[in-house]
Amino acid sequence: MWTDEGVKKADCFDYNDHFTAVEAGSPIKGSSLYPIKALASVDNSCRWAVGFTPVGNEPGICPVPPTPTPKPSGSISGIVYRGYTSTVTSERFSGVTITLGSGACSSSGMGSTTTSSNGSYTFSGLPAGTYCVSVVTSTLPPATYGWSVARTTPNPHTVTIGPDKAKSGVNFGFLENIG
């Protein structure tokens, strides 16, 4: 059923064929053509494409907003600490720089962060994949004879995460060298 309140062009079956987009306007708020103009008093509802895929030039087809791409939500986290085993001790290092690389170690270049006051760090918003996580040893607290990596916590770590998965416990333990 059609209505023609004011346009009065009986020879036009579909007014969308006879108005430019600028003349007709748009019912979609946020569109640069909003609001509806010349077709305000005419049936201006759009039509959903059923049984075919529109190519973009069909009159009266409802615009379909793009499907939003979900943002990756994987993460890698851990702690930097002084320790002799894989057990995290109470002495944790704050302000230590941790780097992240794409791919197996020794990749780099994706970004960096620093450990918080409790020695923890997190890289978030990561897609599934393999990453190289490493401590910049020059940012460790001063030690009289330097630091060594604890055998049970290698530096760097190669870490693989699945889609939207969190990998915690990527810890780094350091031993103070004895002179």
- Residue showing tokens 């009986």: 10
Which pTM was predicted?
0.61
Rg (CA), the chain: 30
Per-residue model confidence as pLDDT tens for the chain (179 residues): 445 555 566 555 555 556 677 777 777 778 888 777 765 545 556 777 778 887 777 777 777 777 888 888 899 999 998 876 556 666 899 999 999 999 998 887 889 999 999 999 999 999 999 999 999 989 998 887 778 877 667 888 999 999 989 999 999 988 888 76
Q: What is the DSSP string of the chain?
A: ---BSS---TT-S-GGGTS-HHHHB-SSTTSTT-SB-TTTTB----B---SS---S--TTBPP-PPPPPPPP-EEEEEEEEE-SSSS--S-B--S-EEEEEESSTT---SEEEE--TTSEEEEEEEPSEEEEEEE-GGGSPP-SS-EEE-TTS-SSEEEEE-TT-EE----EEEEEPP-
Tell me the domains of the chain and their CATH numbers: 1-65 (no CATH), 74-176 (2.60.40.10)
Q: Who's near 165: CB < 8 A, 6+ residues apart?
A: 74, 128
